Amino acid sequence: MKQSIKAIVKNNSLLHTIARKILKFKERVRKPISVKNNIVINKGVLLNVRYNILGYNNLIEIMRGSVLSNMMIYIRGNNHIFKIK
């Protein structure tokens, strides 16, 4: 079944283009968070925002009404709280 779906998508140029765009989007919004107990709470709107967190027990909270675009949030260390209102 999976192979037949892949064949259909591969043979249909529109579906193939859509599938490639979805994969590119997934790669772009992937957010690497390393180590343990790091939390991101998002109540705002994020466009092309990435996280790069190394440490333990960090919190990023993006409050309602916040609009962020084209940025990278870096956190290095432990027990940090970063709030954007």
Both 74 and 58 in one domain: the answer is yes
pLDDT category at 3 given cuts 50, 70, 90 is low
CA distance 75 to 80: 8
Both 67 and 52 in one domain: the answer is yes
> Which amino acid would we find at residue 59?
L
pLDDT category at 23 given cuts 50, 70, 90 is confident
Answer whether residue 30 shows pLDDT above 60: no
Both 22 and 56 in one domain: the answer is no
Domain that includes residue 8, residue range? 1-30
* C-beta neighbour count of 84 within 10 angstroms: 15
Both 75 and 40 in one domain: the answer is yes
Both 61 and 82 in one domain: the answer is yes
Helix (H) and strand (E) counts in the chain: 2, 6
Are residues 81 and 61 in contact, defined by beta-carbon separation less than 8 angstroms?
Answer: yes
Are residues 78 and 56 in contact, defined by beta-carbon separation less than 8 angstroms?
Answer: yes
Q: Would you say the pTM of this structure is higher than 0.85?
A: no
